[in-house]
């Protein structure tokens, strides 16, 4: 599982390094945070890989089993707030994943990636 976590982190960092900077704007004035957006996205993907789909499950999973790898993990409320602010990042991530699966269809496929599902009436 350690190798999987490392591969996910490297994948996320590669996307951050190669995709448009406008998709990954930090919304605070802290340009060098202790806990990066790359780490946050890595946790989100790694938690999903381990069948943790609720934000509370994700945070608890990392805090209880992987805290040595993420020593600057923020409090749960901060974790959720920052995760919810990364909507453009998840759109870009989804597009990159779709393109890697089927490059010819990538421009024809509409996708929705939502880190905060909302019930519709």
Q: Do residues 87 and 115 touch, judged by C-beta distance below 8 A?
A: yes
Q: Do residues 37 and 86 touch, judged by C-beta distance below 8 A?
A: yes
Question: Tell me, what's the pLDDT at 91?
Answer: 82
Closest listed residue to residue 53, CA positions, set 40, 63, 44, 65 = 44
Q: For the segment 64-121, what is each residue's pLDDT rounded down to a tens digit?
A: 999 999 999 999 999 999 898 888 888 888 888 887 777 665 555 555 556 555 555 4
Question: Tell me, what's the pLDDT at 15?
Answer: 87
Q: Do residues 99 and 19 touch, judged by C-beta distance below 8 A?
A: no
Question: Tell me, what's the pLDDT at 119?
Answer: 57
Give the Cα separation of 97 and 70 in Å (integer): 25
Domain ranges in the chain? Answer: 2-17+34-101
Q: Write down the residue that tokens 């609720």 correspond to.
A: 54
Question: Tell me, what's the pLDDT at 95?
Answer: 81
SS3 readout for 16-57: HHHCCHHHHCCCCCCCCCCCCHHHHHHHHHHHHHCCCCCHHH
Question: Tell me, what's the pLDDT at 115?
Answer: 57
Neighbours of 68 (CB within 10 A): 6
Q: Which has more confidence, 21 or 5?
A: 5
């Amino acid at each position: 599982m350690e190798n999987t976590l490392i591969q996910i982190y490297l994948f996320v960092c590669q996307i951050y390094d190669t995709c448009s900077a406008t998709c990954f704007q930090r919304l605070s004035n802290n340009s060098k945070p202790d806990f990066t957006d790359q780490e946050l996205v890595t946790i989100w993907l790694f938690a999903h890989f381990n069948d943790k789909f609720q934000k509370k499950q994700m945070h608890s999973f990392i805090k209880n089993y992987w805290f040595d790898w993420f020593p600057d993990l923020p409090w749960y409320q901060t974790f959720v707030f920052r995760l919810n602010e990364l909507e453009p990042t998840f759109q870009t991530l989804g597009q990159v994943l779709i393109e890697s699966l089927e490059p010819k269809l990538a421009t024809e496929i509409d996708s929705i990636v939502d880190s905060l599902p909302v019930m519709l009436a």
